[in-house]
Amino acid sequence: MAAFVIFAQIYFMYQQKLPIILASKSPRRQELLTAMNLDFKVVLKEVDETYPEDLLPAEIAVYIAEKKAKAFDEDSKGSIVITADTIVAYNGEILGKPEDAHHATEMLTKLSGTNHQVYTGVSLTHNGEIRSFYDTTEVFFNTLTPAQIQYYIKNYQPLDKAGSYGIQDWIGLIAVAKIIGSYTNVMGLPTERLYRALAEGNWSV
């Protein structure tokens, strides 16, 4: 089985025939797909990202990714559409994108000196068929001073990021003590899981 998976991955790398649509405005996700040497185009649609309150964090990430996927049903004819959603969970609380700088300060103060989880749900849609998965990463933060938090918010404007931070930014260099799991998952797209799903999906033939 392992040999078959490796063959499928190599085949996908060199024989990508189906066009890929990335349904995300996130520059991080676009950078990651480019680094994976995948050919894709970006198509954007507005989607309501609310979710039932009784869902667990991993379920929320997948629920929203699939909600986005359903908006691209027609676009998936003859293409593979990639949709994703990333959330941060701290002590059971979901930390989404901050509303303003004050909200971002509150979030980063909570994360300071503690650990939290980052969940990314990913959906692949082809000809109306949706296949989904998620990945989880544990992130450990050093203690941040109020001055460091304000410096980061002022200079990096993390209002478009779940949990009010980007691990690839300055704060990731000075505050993240360690992670358990995928680094790219924290950036917004678990690339190893994604690549494996694309290869094993047999959608390139």
> And the tokens for 178?
């360690």
Q: Angle at the Cα of 29 (from 165 to 184), degrees rounded to 5?
A: 65
Residues 6+ apart with CB under 8 A from 25: 42, 44
Rounded distance, CA 150 to CA 203, Å?
46
pLDDT given at position 201? 77
Task: Share the mean pLDDT of the chain.
Answer: 91
Q: Judge whether residue 93 has pLDDT over 80.
A: yes
Rounded distance, CA 14 to CA 181, Å?
28
Q: How many CA atoms lie within 13 A of 28 on its CB side?
A: 21
30, 51 in Cβ contact below 8 A?
no
Query: Quick one: pLDDT band at residue 200, thresholds 50, 70, 90?
Result: confident
Query: Quick one: pLDDT band at residue 7, thresholds 50, 70, 90?
Result: very low
pLDDT given at position 16? 57
Instruction: Tell me what the mean pLDDT of segment 145-169 comes to.
Output: 96
pLDDT given at position 183? 98
Min mean pLDDT across 94-98, 193-197, 201-205 is at 201-205
Give the percent of the chain with pLDDT over 90: 87
137, 61 in Cβ contact below 8 A?
no
> And the tokens for 174?
């000075």
Q: Judge whether residue 25 has pLDDT over 50.
A: yes
Rounded distance, CA 34 to CA 36, Å?
5
Rounded distance, CA 119 to CA 185, Å?
7
- All structural domains of the chain, each given as residue ranges with its CATH number in brackets, are 2-200 (3.90.950.10)
pLDDT given at position 205? 33
Pairing state between β 129-141 and 20-22: unpaired
Catalytically annotated residue among 85, 100, 135, 160: 85
Give the tens place of pLDDT for each residue, 34-64: 999 999 999 999 999 999 999 999 999 999 9
Instruction: Tell me what the mean pLDDT of segment 156-178 comes to.
Output: 96
84, 25 in Cβ contact below 8 A?
no
Rounded distance, CA 139 to CA 20, Å?
30
Q: Judge whether residue 14 has pLDDT over 80.
A: no
Residue 100 neighbours by CB distance under 10 Å = 9
pLDDT given at position 173? 97
Does the annotation count 85 as an active-site position? yes
